[in-house]
Chains A and B, each alone.
Chain A
Amino acid sequence: MFLYLLRRVLLIIPALFGLLVLTFVMLRVVPTDPAAALAGENSTVEQIEAIRKSYGFDQPMYVQFWVYLKQVLTGDFGTSLYTNRPVADDVFLFLPATIELTFVALVFASVSGVLIGTLAAVWHNSLFDHTVRIVTVAGLAVASFWFAILLQMLFAMQLDWLPLRGRLSTGMPAPPGISGFYLIDSLVTGNFRIFGDALWHILMPAFTLSLGGLATIARFTRSAVLDTMQKEFVTYETAAGYPRWRVVAIYVLRNSLVTPVTQIGLLFGALISSAVAVEAIYDWPGIGSYMVQAIFTSDYKSILAVTLIVGVIYAIVNLVVDLVHALIDPRVSEQM
């Protein structure tokens, strides 16, 4: 088991390195002069030259890459054109909001997805099963930004049940910044009013974000459980008199979770992707919004920085998924 963990961790390194190379190459693919691109539209000639020097565009490629590597490893991603702060600072400012949102969406999608998928499989061919099949397929075809707009129209504008945008109502102070996650911070410091407000604000964005994931997880769980139920050991367990609910909830589920868990891990990456559009709609101050802002201002530095950081997060999440995978199915680590 330990060896497997070690191998898995070591495998990340080439992937991350490749990611660095990719982002490095991406910048130099820009049709215009990279230095001018990084300097921004309203820059002076001196500014462009300064950038050229600091990034080393006039140097040979391998020197440039070395410069780039140094910058990344020291966390220097340059200064944002829009906010005039170091990009690294910006990202860490906005990151918690996205992680909080993504996490809530992930938990909701996973739990409901597994539950719905399992029930649909156990009640195979029932009305519930057919409904689930239809809804999950439709759920994957819905454009999340469109769905967000619809939800906003209904719940915020028409019914006024939920707040339209943002993490907190205007005038509501943010809780003391311990983790950056409003829900946790407010609970931990006993600010229940803030907690309630933050919770109310996270509901629609999280639900919108979770929709595609919920559908996928439900589908994969359903099919995995259906497959497992066909297996001999399920027949045997029934013949040996195991209580039905335990057969399903414990013995079948553990065997069926491999694919859904992999999906949950992949979902994280998909959620971060979708977060870009969803954050834009709900004015959620996360790196998705930051990225959108960077797009509008052609702030290449920020865009690349966000891409790189998201890539790293994604790689770590995949690693965790593989580890959980090995925990669930003890045969995996032995095969490696």
Chain B
Amino acid sequence: MLILKKFLRDIPAVLGFVIIALVIIIALASPLLVPDRSVAFDSNILARLQPPSAEHWFGTDNLGRDILARVILGTRGALMIALSVVGLAILIGVPLGLVAGYKGGLLGDLIMRLTDVFLAVPQLILAVALAQLLSRGITSAMLALALTYWPFFARTVYGETRRVRTALFVEALQGLGAGDWRIMLAHVLPNVASPVIVRATIGMGFTILTAAVLGFLGVGATPPDPDWGLAIAESREYLPEHWWFAAFPGLAILITVLGFNLFGDGLRDLVDPKLRRSR
């Protein structure tokens, strides 16, 4: 309860939470919000490149598709991508980090060297290279993104595990004869959960941004997906007269990522004041 009160005092964090909630609702409710998918997918040459109006709140794109509808439908895609990527990165990174931190020794070193290698190349470049190599398409892009992001989770969990490892209660448990895996899963994991959650939230925002870049470059989503990054790419040749084509998908990215970042920051302030990056 006290934590909730504390959270509510952090206005930016609450704002972030509200934004995320709205985005999730829009994603889930997209069938309701866009009952007739044809406005988002069917070409309507007569209505192409219309400015925002009462009929088309966000205007239409080069194929006459309603941009508002496409933005709404794109929300679902963005969230799905982000969730999958972060989820996969957690699935890979957390166990590796746990083992590395708990067992230490050669195995731990090896795993950490592995994270070093993956972190040796800037994320986007690595993601682009991987996505390209794995054959074009959204699944490859997601896999590539997850492969570039897992080291962050591994590192975080490694650090936390090492910290907890030296705590007395772990020795006590070992003294009682508890098995390594049991200790790791039942006792160490809950303690490292908080930083993981914080990083996951911020990771969501980051993934949406990077996925947008991949979509923009043509290595992620492919037409006719209503992907936000892809839409911006498609809009380029029609600027600056038809500004709405690029403006609204971009705003969608901005607001969504902002929401995740604000909320993630707030979570971090709550979870460990020592980690506080902002006051």
Contact = CB atoms under 8 A, between A and B. Distances in A.
Given A141-B257, A141-B261, A143-B250, A157 B239 contact: yes
B205 A29 contact: no
B205 A19 contact: no
B121 A311 contact: yes
Secondary structure class of chain B's binding surface, majority of residues: helix
Given A153-B240, A310-B121, A292 B250 contact: no
Nearest to A124: B279
Contacts of B113: 14-15, 18
Interface in A302-325: 303-304, 306-307, 310-311, 314-315
Interface string B225-242: 000010010011001100
B261 A292 contact: no
A32 B232 CA distance: 31
B279 A223 contact: yes
Secondary structure class of chain A's binding surface, majority of residues: helix
Given A145-B216, A303-B129, 6 more contacts: A14-B116, A137-B12, A141-B253, A141-B258, A277-B213, A310-B121
Interface of A: 14-16, 18-19, 21-22, 26-27, 29-32, 37, 124, 133-134, 137-138, 140-147, 149-150, 152-153, 157-158, 219-220, 222-223, 226, 269-270, 272-274, 276-277, 280, 291-292, 295-296, 298, 300, 303-304, 306-307, 310-311, 314-315
27 contacts: A15-B117, A18-B114, A18-B120, A22-B117, A26-B129, A30-B134, A31-B135, A134-B12, A138-B258, A145-B213, A146-B212, A146-B232, A146-B246, A146-B249, A146-B253, A149-B250, A150-B246, A153-B239, A158-B240, A226-B279, A273-B122, A273-B124, A276-B128, A300-B133, A306-B125, A307-B129, A314-B121
Q: What 5 pairs between A and B have smallest CB-CB spacing?
A: A18-B117, A273-B124, A146-B250, A141-B257, A273-B122
Interface of B: 12, 113-114, 116-118, 120-126, 128-130, 132-135, 205, 209, 212-213, 216-219, 229, 232, 235-236, 239-240, 243, 246-247, 249-250, 253-255, 257-258, 261-262, 265, 276-279
